[in-house]
Homo-oligomer: A and B are copies of this chain.
Amino acid sequence: MSAENSSTPTSITLPWASDFHCHLRQGAMMETVTPMVEQGGVHTVLAMPNLTPPLTTTQMAVDYGKELQKLAPNVHFILTLYLNPALTPAEIAKAAAAGITAVKVYPSGVTTNSDWGVLDFKIYYPTFQAMQEANMVLCLHGECPSDAAKGICILNAEERFLATLRELHQAFPKLRIVLEHATTQAAVECVKSLGDTVGCTITAHHLFIIIDDWAGHPHHFCKPVAKFPHDRDALREVVKSGHPRFFLGSDSAPHPRSSKQGEKPAAGVFTTPILIPLMATLFDKMECLDKLEGFISTYGRQFYGLPEPIDGTITLVRLPLGVPAAYAISGSASDGETVVPFMASTEIGWSISKAE
């Protein structure tokens, strides 16, 4: 135990963690990153449906789940569908029966019809009603599309979306809704003010970075973009407070290095292989390691209605973990590309010493 941190432990044993927002991709990238879920300390992961083509039917999601399961037999995959007009109440019932947990909404899939850019979800109300009845979860990418004429840009797109979140919650108070990857003080305050059926995921990287960190640094560029220092402070504070409706959703989003370093870098930060060591490092720095288990496991599982984990534990230790400069994309269709993780070529303060 180091002298300067004598009141905090140097090792913690916890259940395997849960990541309620993760991009596991397809093809070689999927084959590369899916096994890294476990390496990062996670045994339950919600897999995003924005593939090519998007997962729009029950069968597609079920098939994708089978592919993932082969690559990581110990991991429990939470499957999702991409909101689209074919998700009729009948298809929702079918999806729920097949074990699909959630439906993901991207703003590009909806229309705007007000001067304030509030999104019109009404055409999907029958779908949401069916989801509420089937006890499914609605996952929201909570940003209005940018529209300079309406004053909407990537800095206020999340805040502008909050009216829509409130409206949806009011219309479907029993429907569990997750505002994903919150990045602003406004979003934190809004979620806190709503009822118990509204949860909120926070990524690892948004707890670390602000706008200065991604300006001129494409590997830190993601959507929603990291914002002001006071926004990061608000994310850290709500996590530190142990609020049970705020939990980990990494939004880990790997891209080949060539897509991140070029004329138009793709949005996304890749944290999967270091996720829980990264969280331990931050919670240690924030002096709230006692809140770690809630954020990376308990709160999200309770919100999603998952049983208590019974599949073993991981032991985190305060020993430096060297993060590689990049990982080879080594799947069956590899083309020599690499994927650069968050914190590449640095050391973070905690590692996983034992997993069983």
Contacts and interface: CB of A to CB of B under 8 A. Distances in A.
Contacts of A267: 216
Interface in A226-265: 227-230, 232, 261-265
A263 B220 CA distance: 10
B146 A212 contact: yes
Stoichiometry (number of copies): 2
B154 A212 contact: yes
A219 B153 contact: no
Given A218-B218, A221-B215, A156 B263 contact: no
A116 B221 CA distance: 28
Contact of A261 (B215, B217, B263, B266): B263
A267 B219 CA distance: 16
Interface in A128-160: 146, 148-149, 151-156
- Size class of the A contact interface (CB-based, 8 Å): 20 to 34
A211 B154 contact: yes
Contacts of A214: 215
Contacts of A230: 151
Interface in A169-190: none
Contacts of A210: 148, 153
Task: Give the residue among A151, A211, A216, A232 with the most B Cβ atoms within 10 A.
Answer: A216
A97 B214 CA distance: 45
Interface of A: 146, 148-149, 151-156, 210-212, 214-219, 221, 225, 227-230, 232, 261-267
Given A216-B266, A217-B264, A261-B261, 19 more contacts: A146-B212, A148-B210, A148-B212, A151-B230, A152-B229, A153-B211, A153-B212, A154-B215, A155-B155, A155-B228, A214-B215, A216-B218, A216-B221, A216-B264, A216-B265, A216-B267, A218-B263, A261-B262, A261-B263
